[in-house]
Structure 1
Amino acid sequence: MKYKCVVVDLDQTLLHKDKSLSDLTAAAFAQLETEIVVATGRAIVRTQRYAELIHARSMICTNGSIVYHQGQVIYRQELDSQKLTDLIEVLRKIEPVHITLFYPTEVYTTNEYFVKKGESLRLDLDHFNPHEIQRIFVVTSNHAAIQSINFSAYGMKAVPLSEDGDIFVITAQHVNKGNALKALCDHLSLNLKEVVAFGDDYNDLEMIQEAGCGVAMANAVPEILAAADQQTLSNDEDGVAVWLQKHRSDFA
């Protein structure tokens, strides 16, 4: 079967460690005539520039909580506002802790470092909008406190970031890039078998499993390497571009 869709994660997959996109990678995507999708943990404001560079018409953002096609929202999964408010009361008691709330186009944090850098707005935990929040970042060295919380009771889950074990990503329980990919394929009338997906981290697992061909980066975590159908070079070696060029004849 010929592939009609390429789905690619950004950090540690498409991008180099310095967050740059190589000329080789840009050229490889320019040659594609298939549907191109960016699937990332980032919000849209930090995704759109890269999507434009590789001519992606679709974006799966914040680990699959929202999907855009040609600028329109076609799928979203938000955190329950009341349960989120209750959970925040538990999280803020952890010591030490920084909390970051991700809305569709804005980010609020208690971490003054990112506020001063202009990357986020200041979060007041006594007065915040509990609606339309798509995910939460909790930064703490107190892992025992996080592990003691029954996130499923709030309809949520917490997953640590592989590159920093003190960062926990909280999303709705059924949010993942795989479910978002299925929703996008339904919208585009694509068969999942016609999709090739590239990833490296835990949040790419369901996407790698759902795609007709899941490709792991050489720098991927063991779970992704085990789940993938194929493997390519690392992100700093332009593994995505190298694979696309090698398999050019496999695309419709």
Structure 2
Amino acid sequence: MSIRLIAFDLDGTLLRNDKTVSERTMKALQRAADQGIYLVPSTGRIFDAMPEVVRNMPFVRYAITVNGAAVYDAAEKRMLYEADLTREEAEAVFAYTKEFDAICGCYQKGVGWMEETEFEQLPAYAANAKILEMLKSVYHPMKNLQKEIFSQGSTIQKLIYFFQEIPERDRKLQETKERFPNLEISTSLPNNIEVNSAGANKGLGLKCLCDHLGLRLEECMAFGDGTNDLAILKTAGRGVAMANAAMEVLEAVPYRTLSNEEDGVAVEIERCLEEN
């Protein structure tokens, strides 16, 4: 069956480690667009936090953002789908995680926020310099975040926790999944935990977009590397794991491509275009 939509995660997938898009990948995306294939970023980021090189791609109209909590039509500047954490859910997570040796950020209405004192600690919790640069551009400091955040809205799109120690992150990840079985708990970076509502994952976002566009899921291909990509990789007709993907992803997804540093997305798109 011909592929009519290609969804791709950003960090660790489309983007190289320096957060750029290779020339080969750009050419492969353009060739796909020229054949009428929808090209859809599928990211844990809010739309405005996507790299400019991605937001400015002339063939990108739709985006699955915040792990599927928001499906956005950039041409019409409107949301096609939203699935936020309720205040009750967010406050329960805040209460449970208050003893975490981690700093917390949150997305609300397409804006990133972080407690002022924790924002100042970002250099100690960012995995590398490029991620630190990205986080500083995404989050805005706020005093008394857990109290004041709800003065701006009654819901939250996503909560994100950043750890210094990977073993500690791994322990808390399993504990959080057990404590909140009705929420979406995932990771997108080696040192983070992401908490979304039950109605928010990239697979549900893809289903929503396909319904909107009149496409079948079998006509979709998706790329990813993190556990927040598992839902879309399993939902799309052809889910492709990057060679650098988390072990949980590699074990769950039958299709593989090269790493993000080796133009893995471009390689698979080129193969897809030949098959089409």
Contact 2:6–2:39 (Cα < 8 Å) also in 1: yes
Segments of structure 1 that go 5 or more residues without pairing to the other structure are none
Pair 1:43-2:46 in alignment: yes
Among 101, 105, 123, the residue aligned to 1:100:
105
Contact 1:162–1:202 (Cα < 8 Å) also in 2: no
Measure, in 2, the Cα distance between the counterparts of 1:46 and 1:219.
23
Map Cα deviations across residues 75-118 of structure 1 (whole Å, 9 max, x no partner): 110011133224323333x1533221111321111222359945
Show the counterpart of 2:23: 23
Among 157, 160, 165, the residue aligned to 1:134:
157
Among 78, 86, 110, the residue aligned to 1:80:
86
The DSSP-based 3-state class of the residue aligned with 1:178 is helix
Measure, in 1, the Cα distance between the counterparts of 2:23 and 2:188.
28
Measure, in 2, the Cα distance between the counterparts of 1:3 and 1:134.
30
Among 153, 159, 163, the residue aligned to 2:190:
163
1:221–1:86: structure 2 CA closer, same or farther, 3 Å change rule?
closer
Show the counterpart of 2:95: 89
Map Cα deviations across residues 173-194 of structure 1 (whole Å, 9 max, x no partner): 2421111111110111000011
Deviation larger for 155-164 or 130-139: 155-164
Measure, in 2, the Cα distance between the counterparts of 1:106 and 1:188.
27
Measure, in 1, the Cα distance between the counterparts of 2:161 and 2:82.
22
Pair 1:205-2:234 in alignment: no
Map Cα deviations across residues 215-236 of structure 1 (whole Å, 9 max, x no partner): 1111112332233342111100
- Provide TM-score, normalisation by structure 2: 0.80
Give me the CA root mean square deviation. Answer: 2.4
1 or 2, which has the higher helix percentage? 2
Measure, in 2, the Cα distance between the counterparts of 1:89 and 1:221.
29
Contact 1:38–1:51 (Cα < 8 Å) also in 2: no
Pair 1:122-2:147 in alignment: no
Measure, in 2, the Cα distance between the counterparts of 1:27 and 1:95.
44
Residue type of the alignment partner of 1:150:
R
Among 240, 246, 250, the residue aligned to 1:221:
246
Pair 1:3-2:22 in alignment: no
Map Cα deviations across residues 110-133 of structure 1 (whole Å, 9 max, x no partner): 222359945422232332225241
Q: CA deviation at 1:199?
A: 1.1
Q: CA deviation at 1:170?
A: 0.9
Identity of aligned residues (%): 28
Q: CA deviation at 1:206?
A: 1.3
Contact 2:108–2:155 (Cα < 8 Å) also in 1: yes
**Pairs aligned (count):** 246
Measure, in 2, the Cα distance between the counterparts of 1:95 and 1:189.
44
Residue type of the alignment partner of 2:20:
S
- Provide TM-score, normalisation by structure 1: 0.87
Contact 1:158–1:171 (Cα < 8 Å) also in 2: yes
Measure, in 2, the Cα distance between the counterparts of 1:40 and 1:77.
15
Deviation larger for 27-36 or 8-17: 27-36
Pair 1:248-2:257 in alignment: no
Measure, in 2, the Cα distance between the counterparts of 1:104 and 1:240.
30
Q: CA deviation at 1:241?
A: 0.8
Show the counterpart of 2:217: 192
